C-alpha cells in the first residue's frame, strides 16, 4: 500500500475564502489533498502543479500520470477517485475531522494510505 502524508498546515481545503479556487498547489505553498498525492505518489515537482486546479490539467505536462489513478483512460479527464476526492476536499460545510475520515476511507479503497499530520 502506498502511503501519502498530508501536512495540515499546508493543506488547502474547504474553509478558504469564498470564490477562491482549490489548487494542487497555490502561490502560498498550500496544496489540496491531490497536490500531496501528485508530489508523493506521482513524483511531480512544484513547478508542474503550481496553479493547476485538478489532475486532468497535468495530463499534457507530466507523463507518469498516464499510468496513475489520477486521470481517466484518455488522460484529459479526472479519474473517479480524483473527482470524489475533490468533492470531499473542497466541501465548505464539512468539518476537518469528517473530511479527513472520508478521504482516508476513499484512498484506502484504492490501496493508498493517507496520513494527516
Its pTM stands at: 0.86
Domain residue ranges in the chain: 2-116
What pLDDT digit, counting tens, does each position of 53-86 carry?
Answer: 888 887 666 555 544 556 555 555 677 888 899 9
Residues 21-32: what's their mean pLDDT?
91
Long-range Cβ contact pairs of 46-53 (< 8 A, separation 24 or more): 49/23, 49/24, 49/25, 50/23, 50/24, 50/25, 50/26, 51/23, 51/25, 51/26, 51/27, 52/23, 52/24, 52/25, 53/21, 53/22, 53/23, 53/24
Amino acid at each position: 500500500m502506498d502511503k501519502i502524508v498530508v501536512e495540515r498546515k499546508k493543506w488547502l481545503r474547504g474553509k478558504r475564502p469564498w470564490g477562491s479556487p482549490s489548487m494542487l498547489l497555490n502561490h502560498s505553498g498550500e496544496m489540496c489533498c491531490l497536490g500531496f498525492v501528485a508530489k508523493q505518489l506521482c513524483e511531480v515537482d512544484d513547478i508542474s502543479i503550481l496553479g493547476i486546479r485538478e489532475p486532468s490539467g497535468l495530463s499534457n505536462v507530466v507523463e507518469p500520470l498516464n499510468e496513475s489513478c489520477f486521470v481517466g483512460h484518455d488522460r484529459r479527464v479526472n479519474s473517479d477517485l480524483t473527482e470524489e476526492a475533490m468533492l470531499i476536499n473542497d466541501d465548505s460545510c464539512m468539518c476537518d475531522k469528517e473530511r479527513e475520515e472520508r478521504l482516508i476511507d476513499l484512498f484506502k479503497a484504492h490501496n493508498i494510505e493517507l496520513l494527516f499530520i
